[in-house]
Amino acid sequence: MAAQIGGHVPALTERAATRTRGTRSRRTQAERRAASKERLLEAAATLVATRGTARASLGDIAAAAGCSRGLPTYLFGSKEGLLLALADYLVERFRSRLFEPAVDHRQGLPALLIWLQVYVDSLRGPELQVRAACVLLGEALGSEPAFLPAINRVHRNVRAMVEHYIRDGIERGEIRADVDPVAHAALLIGTLRGISLLAVTDPDSLDLDALGAELVAATERGLHA
């Protein structure tokens, strides 16, 4: 009895330790899986950006990621599944690493203007991830139509975010009440997509400093209440 009151009950202690080890093992396995997915998606972004989707094989992606050849199929099911996941991954990467830190807690028109500037700034170089996103967009319209639903989903999600900024700006009195949030969001996204393609295919023709400043100023002039 004294051992049970003053110390640990051996059987209970062992069961608790077993549960703890099991939880740690499951958590570690989940973390390893997530890390493997990220390595494969980063490798896929690099190869898609430099080779296109047709010449980025699952074996090459696995080798570039330092993973076994069968891991991409195990985690994503197929090359198409990996590339569809890549489209979502790139959008989430831009959102969490670029846009959210820059926008911070701003809302309405200020948030929209900062988002536009950050988008244009991200085209410098451009980074391989930006090039990969442009390749996926282009090939969704041509050789890889299976990507089109994923690309459309990405576009709709981004347009919805821009629409939210515009509606919020209208409610806050920063943006004119007669502005159509849906139409203007599509206009801005279309403009940015065109700029993205130019930045990838003919970067020397663009002055991104001037372009970003003009886009932000024109948007503010066109929307400001």
- What tens digit of pLDDT does each residue of 137-180 get? 777 777 666 777 777 888 888 899 999 999 999 999 999 999 99
Q: Hey, where are the domains in the chain?
A: 8-223
Interval 41-69 mean pLDDT: 92
| 8-223, CATH topology level | Tetracycline Repressor; domain 2 (1.10.357)
The pLDDT value given to residue 21: 52
Confidence (pTM): 0.75
Which residues are CB-contacts of 77 (< 8 A; sequence separation ≥ 6)? none
Mean residue pLDDT across the chain: 84
The pLDDT value given to residue 32: 86
- pLDDT tops 90 at residue 211: yes
pLDDT band at 209 (very low <50, low <70, confident <90, very high): very high
pLDDT band at 124 (very low <50, low <70, confident <90, very high): confident
The DSSP bridge partners found for residue 209 are none
175 φ/ψ angles, rounded to the nearest 5 degrees? -120, 140
Q: Which of 17-21, 35-39, 137-141, 161-165 has the lowest mean pLDDT?
A: 17-21
* Candidate ranges 20-24, 48-52, 57-61; pick with highest mean pLDDT: 57-61
Q: Quick one: what percent of the chain has pLDDT higher than 90?
A: 43
The pLDDT value given to residue 4: 43
The pLDDT value given to residue 68: 93
